Chain A
Amino acid sequence: MSLAFRLCLRRLHRPVLGTLVLWGALTAFPLSASATKIEPIVSPGGITAWLVHEPSVPLIALDFAFKGGANQDPPEKAGVATMATSLLDEGAGDIDSKSFHERLEAKAVEVSFSATRDYVSGSLRTLTENQDEAFELLKLALTAPRFDGADVERIREQTLSELRRATTSPNELASRRWWATAFAGHPYGSPPRGTLESVPTITVDDLKAFTRRVFARDNLKIGIVGNIDAAAAGALVDRVFGSLPAKSTLSPIAKASPQGLGQKIAVDLDVPQSVLIIGGAGILRKDPDFMAAFVLNHILGGSAFSSRLYKEVREARGLAYSVYSAVMPLDYAALFFSSTATRYDRAVQTLEVMEAEIRKMAETGPTEEELTKAKSFLTGSYALRFDTSTKIAEQLVLIQLDDLGIDYIDKRNDLVNAVTLADVKRVAKRLLEGNMLVTVVGKPQPAPAKGG
């Protein structure tokens, strides 16, 4: 809304798949082994956090996550987690919403909260000199959010306004339809932001119940980066998180696999460009084949300007601006996605090209040369994920959420390099051979002319 002169990036990955971390674009926390040293700390109060002490920039970045996000929304009340997290900075303790925001601004403290399907996360950035105020406000937001009636209604209106916009957004429709079909009856089938029907029914009690159940110390992961040592970090962790309940009470979530595979669902919408999503079963993060799947995905539709989908769909045929694939391991399901957007009268052709590439990859796998290049890219780009305090803090939390161990950063490039051609070929079959669920949103395509 606020960009006066639009930036035209040559290529853009559209976040059509919702709020989850896409592994195709985001994995790989890389660190050149020499640069960043992670200290595991345990606070005097017994809370674990990972710390990178970086004295050269006068700021502190703190990221954290509580396991249990939108998947904890009560049935029929999709949107509770999102709404609760949106309200955390709208007043807490004795401080009303207006004063809360003013105090953050007065010290230039940046804080944000969000809910994904599997966790609630938060991120705080402060100048070192303002840390006391910053962490006091964060503590209040997490332990004593007010959920005042007027603020709840205001955030509800904002959410409904966004949801109204979403009703004619091809990306949103394609994504919502995909998830609703693949996970009918499962919490993953509900959109994390909720629906026009569910959001009006959410009560203050729902919001309070959510934070009470989810914000606890046993499902908490913390990453801290900046000009702060271990002792001070321990004290700050206790101060912010120490008064949370020891145990969360999360509803159990059933493991699930995507349903409706083999179906193609068309949703009519009068837009010039159709959006399509192809999705199927993926490979869980803990599965020994995960890294091979990750490398394979890079070759098929990952982030470099050299993936097979990029070459075939964009470069050779000019069918799309953005085309990609991604592996998405959730806590209770694993997914593979591929997506693009193309002129409505070329949607069928584009889908055919993508399906043919996926099929070809399933049948014959990558070449040795592709594998070598992919490994070289993935290991070489490792350090790029670690060049700001904020990025490092985020990665520290993600590694903990995935339970990969504090030495993961040191091992990670070896794990990539250990993937063999036989691995990726085997995994190509496992990941790509099965049926997929396709959603296409756009104008119906005219029947193809015969004989041409």
Chain B
Amino acid sequence: MRLISAGAALVFTFQIGNAFAEGPEVNNFSLPNGLEVVVIPDHRTPVVTHMIWYKVGSADETPGKSGLAHFLEHLMFKGTAKNPAGRFSQTLATIGGQENAFTTADYTAYFQRIAKEYLPLVMEFEADRMTGLVLTDENVLPERDVVLEEFNMRVANSPDARIGEQVAAALYLNHPYGRPVIGWRQEIEKLTREDALAFYRRFYTPNNAVVVVAGDVTGDEVKRLAEKTYGKVARVAEVPPRVRPQEPIPVAVRQLTMADARVAQPSLQRSYLVPSASTANPGEAEALEILAQVLGAGETSRLYRTLVVEQHIASGAGGWYQGTALDDSRFGVFASPLPGVTFATIEAAIDAVIAKVAESGITPAELDRAKTRLIADTVYAEDNQSTMARWYGAALTSGGSVEKVTSLPARMRAVTIEAVQNAARTWLDKRRSVTGYLVKELPENQEKRS
């Protein structure tokens, strides 16, 4: 039984096979300044994962300032008036705490993993840097170089990452999800201290944040601590609704080819514009999750079976769905052709696999396997306080809710074969997609083809 003590308490019971999985008691409350708090107790080890999630990501950046959300994330480690440069990290380094932070299109999150007795301390530090950040050119400019090296490592040095950026940029005609989270290089290079501070003042305020604490704590304990720390932080800004430019209905089948001399193994990837868990009609995102499992997850998936095992034309193939997103999201498929196999052959095989699901659906055994796996994931997640904290944090900053997380098994269980077939038919329409080919060099006839 999972219990959510929010304003109105909701109770869920879900069943895994024959056994009852008792989920943790999740507490969810808000402070008067608008900060939301989620507490997920796990008393097995005297350790706590403390995270703060801001409802701001790269998709909230002003055009021309790409990479700013992520740059600010780096700069959040530069200190405040009360806790100057390095004190927070030095303290963690002394008490044996782990820390890090990450940025996506929809959220920016910071976390510490610590022995439970240090929770008040890290909440104090984190509350302080919510509004107290001090930046100087002396610490901002070297950090921009660090971010450029991160760009080099993640993107410039990796042909696979580079084409991934190109496909996303081509897929989104209007929505900022087309921009890389890390930013376009020429814009990262020009980000300034003033840019970062302006962005900080717009978005870093208690009414735009969610604190998630998982581990050896109780809801009451965290509530008291949150009131004493975060509760003292005044609202800095009223945050407007997160309304981003939306996508028009896609109408064109798009293809792009990127050549990179370092490509030793050509590959193909395709992204479809599809609803996310927060934009989908009820049941649709769940059907897309199941569809991604059946089409693309692992060796029993249809893409792998067909392209790799049966037709022997690819060394790898699969698919995925990014359900957690505030706005319309992506469903992807990919394959690496065996030497001598053309992209046309690969693509025809992928198209046939998808068409078959759209025309005749999936089998009951496939449906059951996919559900079992997705539901078991929720039990496995309960073994890991960090995973739990991430699930809740990501949901609450991407348009979801505590209820949406706890109801996941029940929602998965309700998916029908027809719903999966409908999802394939409706959303895996090639006109909604961009296909990218990654090659070593452009073919001779490239000019004529384009």
Per-residue B-contact encoding for A84-125, CB less than 8 Å = 1, 0 else: 000000000000011001100111101000000000000001
Chain B interface, >50% SS class: mixed
Option from B97, B141, B161, B379 in Cβ contact (under 8 Å) with A318: B141
Q: Do residues B99 and A158 form an inter-chain contact, with CB atoms below 8 A?
A: no
Interface centre among A128, A269, A304 (most CB of B within 10 A): A304
A403: CB under 8 A from chain B?
Answer: no
Give the total number of A-B pairs whose CB atoms are below 8 A apart: 252
* A125 CA / B382 CA spacing, docked (Å): 13
* A382 CA / B47 CA spacing, docked (Å): 10
Chain A residue nearest to B299 in the complex (CB): A101
Q: Do residues B181 and A161 form an inter-chain contact, with CB atoms below 8 A?
A: no
Option from A1, A54, A127, A386 in Cβ contact (under 8 Å) with B160: A1
Q: Do residues A54 and B332 form an inter-chain contact, with CB atoms below 8 A?
A: no
| Minimum C-beta distance from A290 to chain B (A) | 20
Those of B305-355 within 8 Å (CB) of chain A? 305, 308-309, 312, 315-316, 318, 320, 322, 325, 329-330, 332, 334, 336, 338
| Minimum C-beta distance from B42 to chain A (A) | 8
Q: Do residues A161 and B316 form an inter-chain contact, with CB atoms below 8 A?
A: yes
Chain B contacts for A125, CB-based, 8 A: 380
- Do A4 and B332 form a contact, CB below 8 Å, given A158-B315, A386-B45? yes
Q: Do residues B330 and A10 form an inter-chain contact, with CB atoms below 8 A?
A: no
A450: CB under 8 A from chain B?
Answer: no
Q: Do residues A383 and B46 form an inter-chain contact, with CB atoms below 8 A?
A: yes
Chain B contacts for A291, CB-based, 8 A: none
B73: CB under 8 A from chain A?
Answer: yes
Option from A58, A167, A373, A378 in Cβ contact (under 8 Å) with B21: A58
Q: Do residues B177 and A101 form an inter-chain contact, with CB atoms below 8 A?
A: no
- Do A6 and B182 form a contact, CB below 8 Å, given A35-B45, A164-B265, A377-B93? yes
Q: Do residues A98 and B300 form an inter-chain contact, with CB atoms below 8 A?
A: yes
A368: CB under 8 A from chain B?
Answer: no
- Do A56 and B44 form a contact, CB below 8 Å, given A164-B264, A272-B152? yes
- Do A321 and B92 form a contact, CB below 8 Å, given A10-B77, A105-B369, A157-B338? no
For chain B, the bracket of interface size reads 35 or more
B26: CB under 8 A from chain A?
Answer: no
Q: Do residues B115 and A380 form an inter-chain contact, with CB atoms below 8 A?
A: yes
Q: Do residues B94 and A387 form an inter-chain contact, with CB atoms below 8 A?
A: no
Q: Do residues A273 and B93 form an inter-chain contact, with CB atoms below 8 A?
A: no
Give the number of residues in A that approach B within 8 Å (Cβ atoms).
87
* A382 CA / B46 CA spacing, docked (Å): 11
* A186 CA / B265 CA spacing, docked (Å): 30
Q: Do residues A105 and B300 form an inter-chain contact, with CB atoms below 8 A?
A: yes
Chain B contacts for A61, CB-based, 8 A: 383
Q: Do residues A6 and B45 form an inter-chain contact, with CB atoms below 8 A?
A: no
Chain A contacts for B283, CB-based, 8 A: none
Chain A contacts for B77, CB-based, 8 A: 10, 305
* A273 CA / B185 CA spacing, docked (Å): 14
Q: Do residues B102 and A34 form an inter-chain contact, with CB atoms below 8 A?
A: no
Chain A contacts for B106, CB-based, 8 A: 5
Chain B contacts for A388, CB-based, 8 A: 383-385
* A321 CA / B71 CA spacing, docked (Å): 13
Option from A34, A58, A154, A165 in Cβ contact (under 8 Å) with B264: A165
Q: Do residues A377 and B96 form an inter-chain contact, with CB atoms below 8 A?
A: yes
Q: Do residues A272 and B156 form an inter-chain contact, with CB atoms below 8 A?
A: yes
* A166 CA / B90 CA spacing, docked (Å): 38
| Minimum C-beta distance from B216 to chain A (A) | 9
Q: Do residues B94 and A376 form an inter-chain contact, with CB atoms below 8 A?
A: yes
* A154 CA / B329 CA spacing, docked (Å): 33
Those of A129-174 within 8 Å (CB) of chain B? 129-130, 150, 154, 157-158, 160-162, 164-168, 170
Interface centre among B144, B149, B330 (most CB of A within 10 A): B149
* A71 CA / B385 CA spacing, docked (Å): 36
| Minimum C-beta distance from A228 to chain B (A) | 14
Those of A269-314 within 8 Å (CB) of chain B? 269-273, 303-306, 314
A255: CB under 8 A from chain B?
Answer: no
* A128 CA / B22 CA spacing, docked (Å): 13
Chain B contacts for A303, CB-based, 8 A: 98
Q: Do residues A387 and B98 form an inter-chain contact, with CB atoms below 8 A?
A: no
Chain A contacts for B309, CB-based, 8 A: 97-98, 150, 154
Interface centre among A4, A97, A102, A382 (most CB of B within 10 A): A4
* A384 CA / B118 CA spacing, docked (Å): 13
Interface stretch, picked from B12-20, B129-137, B404-412, is B12-20
Those of A380-403 within 8 Å (CB) of chain B? 380-384, 386-390
8 pairs of A and B residues whose beta carbons are closest in the complex? A380-B96, A318-B145, A108-B376, A4-B322, A381-B96, A318-B142, A273-B152, A2-B320
24 contacts between A and B (CB under 8 A): A5-B105, A6-B161, A6-B180, A8-B102, A10-B101, A56-B44, A57-B44, A59-B379, A101-B299, A129-B18, A154-B309, A270-B261, A271-B156, A273-B149, A306-B89, A316-B142, A318-B145, A318-B149, A373-B93, A380-B96, A383-B115, A386-B45, A387-B385, A388-B385
Given contacts A158-B315, A318-B142, A388-B385, 11 further A-B contacts (CB under 8 A): A35-B46, A59-B379, A125-B380, A127-B17, A127-B379, A129-B16, A314-B146, A316-B142, A318-B143, A318-B146, A373-B94
